[in-house]
Amino acid sequence: MALRAPINQRVPWRPSILDGYLLRMLALPAAGVLGVTLVAFLLEQTLRLINEMASNGARLGYLFGLISNLVPYQLGLALPASFFVAMFIVIARLDEESEIAAILAGGVSFERILAPLVFAGAVLGVISLVLVGYAQPYSRFGYRAVLNAATDAGWTARLDPQVFIHAGPDFTITADDADATGRSLKGVFIRRKSSTGETIVTATAGRLGLGRDGKTTDLRLVGGLILSDAAAGGERLLRFGDFADHEVLNTREVLRPRGGDEQEMTLPELIGESGRSDALIPRRVLLAELYSRLARSLAMPLLPLLALPLALAAKRGKRAPGMIVGAVLLVAFHHGVTLCKSFAQKGEVNPLLAIGGIFAVMLALGLWLFLSSRQRPGDTPISGFLARIDGLFQRRAKTTPTAMQTKGALSLSAYLTRMMAVRTAAAAAALMGLLQLIDLLERTSDILARGGGIGILRYMVLRLPYMFGEVAPFAVLAGAIFTFSQLARNSELVVMRITGMSLFEIFRRTLPVALSVAVLDLTVADQVTPRAQQALASWWSHSAPGATRGAPSPRWFHIDNSVVVVRTAARDGKTLEGVSIYERNDAKALTRRITARTATAESGGWKLHGAAVTGLGGARASQMTVAALDWRSNLSPGDMRRLFADSYEITSNTAYRSLFGKGPVDKSPSQFKTRLFRTLATGVAPIIMLLLALPTALGYARSNQTGPVIFGLGCGLLYLVADGLLTAMGQTGVLPPIVAAWGAPIGFAAGAVSLLLYAEG
């Protein structure tokens, strides 16, 4: 039988073991980083929306709809940054454990290492295209529709204590106390504004209801008075035993259909509208929107071309310069696309050439960095630049070892503490950098309009305390997981367990790191973050461009048994304009009204200038005008800065002063009580995260088992979500403040300790 030549058959390409290994390594950090960023930003948006909806008297039942419609937008922002950071983590680990060198020594090309990363980028690019092309347009409209429904539903005809509701045209109502339903009231105050002046109604008690039409309030008042300004300039005073008040609530604007804004149009709709000659939106605007979305999605597969060379360009363990350069490139690309889109919409440049040019520059830069590092991985044209930056970060004064330093090795406790401290600090820095990056992706254009490059630095510094508070607990979790994983891979945990060391002993020896972070987190969250957020909100409103800057809304608050409204305040809070003070007696009846043109801060109170005093005695009201009048009050300039800054973050001291009548009150007592109880609960979070990370020490062996790591990261994210939701429920009065503040810490701590006891048993 004659032998035949072998037939050449084309073998279809199949993923190799290396591909699966790299993709599995990439999945966990990508999911973890994406989860942390989403939770951080969505919790911030949740607290802000709760504060706004409560102040407007809107139904909080719409909150879930608003937050769910924010998810596609936040996910689209976080996806590229999370993917980039995850690749850095994976490449750093492969390089530190010499796996990159082993793979290259085995004959695998640099391009073959890149292939699965590009594949992951292509998959994420498709997901990004779905998000920006379909999900985000519908979610933008959905958010607007839910917000319109919430405002159109109007006031729910229920009051939280001490909260001011502006429920109708020039109609303000508040009550000193209310029952759980918000309908049975005590210490009622109503101000109605008209063309002739204002009408003030105060009452000892009242019962609030809503008419069948859902637009009219029915308020039954007991034991009060009515002060109204007559057209001739006089005042009328009426005292009553029982009084019925009805108010027609304001109606909202009709919801505009989806499609009137190019950002609410899907990709097929943008393409279709751009080809129509009778389109309502200019063609250049539609094309600029279309090309900007495509550019951002198509850039996802290009990120590995940047991440792989930059992650290998620095020395082992010193990858901060490469990550910084990568972050700068991401921000530059995003805002380059935004800038070109803006110019294209104005007709100053061609949309395809401008946005396509930015994409081409990004592609060329990625190919240049990657191709230049093929021969010597990590040796790129910018390696020298990165080395100089690395030298600035790592420069230390060389010291001669002392006798104490040369006596012996570190103790086990010091060894574990140092290892975990380094990894916790690295995790905190990486997470804060990621949050800053995503935040800047959204805000840089607005910041540049307010202060240029210096404005970006100012914004980053003022946002830093808040972001530290968001990432501090998770940084401890990540630092502990990385520490225990390293100990397990080096078989050090096996030795510790053989010698009889329990998990609780490991917990005790690593606890100093968690305690240090807890103390720092508590201090920052209670004292630094509220002040930084207040300064940021004040700067943001005062530095807004003239076209977008609006007049501040008047601020209403309770203080010293009086109701006060201030039209505006100076930036330092020491000068007020348009001040009205409604003084009441112990029965919450109006006794005197003072209006002043301006007020200036003095020791122990304020000096009112151009004041008009209306006294209420017997059955008549009398008025007199004085050039200056002293107002003794606990109100401070700092209080006014906070009130006009629109910042929902407050210190524990502010909450204490407001609860015990030593400061202004414009929120319900449940918000202040929740803030006080959370003062210590915030500091407990890093310790709980350490407990949740301890199961990682049970079974993370050399087999690269990821189950304990996934469990620890999942529990950490679940804790952050549960803690945030319970806090929101406490602020809105759904749960008792102490339960809302301590529910998640106690519940998760009990679960973690129970699991450890089971594992030790």
pLDDT in tens, 651-678: 888 889 988 888 899 888 888 999 899 8
- Examine the fold and report which residue of 198, 215, 248 is the final residue of a domain before the chain moves on: 248
Tell me what percent of the residues of the chain surpass a pLDDT of 70: 83
Q: Kindly state the average pLDDT of the residues 186-190.
A: 90
- Look at residue 598 in the predicted model and tell me its pLDDT: 94
pLDDT band at 406 (very low <50, low <70, confident <90, very high): very low
Predicted pLDDT at 704: 47
H helices present in 13-160, as ranges: 17-56, 63-96, 99-105, 110-130, 136-152
Confidence tier at 103 by pLDDT (50, 70, 90): confident
E strand map for 570-652: 575-584, 590-602, 605-617, 620-632
Question: What average pLDDT does the segment 134-140 reach?
Answer: 88
Angle, nearest 10°, between helix axes 351-372 and 320-345? Answer: 160
- Kindly write down the DSSP assignment for every residue of 424-475, as one continuous string: HHHHHHHHHHHHHHHHHHHHHHHHHHHHHHHHHHHHHHHHHHHHHHHHHHHH
Q: How far is CA 647 from CA 322, 447, 541, 700, in A?
A: 36, 18, 11, 44
Of 120-129, 151-160, 469-478, the range with the lowest mean pLDDT is 151-160
Task: Give the domain-ending residue among 214, 248, 282.
Answer: 248
The pLDDT score that the predictor gives to residue 738 is 92
Q: What is the pLDDT of residue 320?
A: 62
Q: Is 67 part of any domain?
A: no
pTM more than 0.85: no
For 359-380, the pLDDT digits (tens) are: 999 999 888 888 887 766 666 6
CA distance 309 to 484: 29
Number of domains in the chain: 2
* pLDDT, tens only, 505-519: 888 888 999 999 999
pLDDT, one tens digit per residue, over 570-624 is: 888 899 999 999 999 888 889 899 999 999 999 888 999 999 998 887 777 888 8
Nearest of 62, 37, 86, 54 to residue 442 by alpha carbon: 37
Is residue 526 assigned to a domain?
A: yes
Q: Which residues pair with 171 in a beta bridge?
A: 168, 192
Average pLDDT of the residues in 311-328: 66
Per-residue pLDDT tens over the stretch 207-259: 888 776 666 778 888 888 888 887 666 788 888 888 887 776 654 555 677 77
Q: What is the mean pLDDT of residues 15-29?
A: 81
Residue 631 counted as domain residue:
no
Give the model's pLDDT for residue 686: 92
Residue 400: how many CB atoms within 10 A of its CB? 5
Is 70 a domain residue?
no
pLDDT given at position 146: 80
pLDDT at 109: 78
What is the arithmetic mean of pLDDT over 438-466? 80
Query: Would 452 be classed as within a structural domain?
Result: yes
Residue 212 lies inside a defined structural domain of this protein: yes
- Write out pLDDT tens, residues 146-166: 877 766 655 666 788 888 887
Percentage of the chain lying above the pLDDT 90 cut: 14
State the Cα–Cα distance between residues 365 and 624, nearest whole angstrom: 75
Contacts of 228 (CB under 8 A, 6+ apart): 197, 198, 199, 200, 235, 236, 238
**Of residues 697 and 529, more confidently modeled:** 529
What pLDDT does residue 524 have?
A: 92
Query: Which of 221, 248, 275 is a domain's end point?
Result: 248
Range of the domain at 516: 412-546+650-761
Give me the mean pLDDT over the 329-346 stretch. Answer: 84
Long-range Cβ contact pairs of 623-629 (< 8 A, separation 24 or more): 623/234, 623/235, 629/594, 629/596
Q: Is residue 600 part of a domain?
A: no
In a domain, 356, yes or no: no
Q: Is the pLDDT of residue 400 over 60?
A: no
Confidence of residue 114 (pLDDT cuts 50, 70, 90): confident
> What pLDDT does 316 receive?
47
CA dist., res. 578 & res. 592, Å (int): 17
pLDDT of residue 739: 92
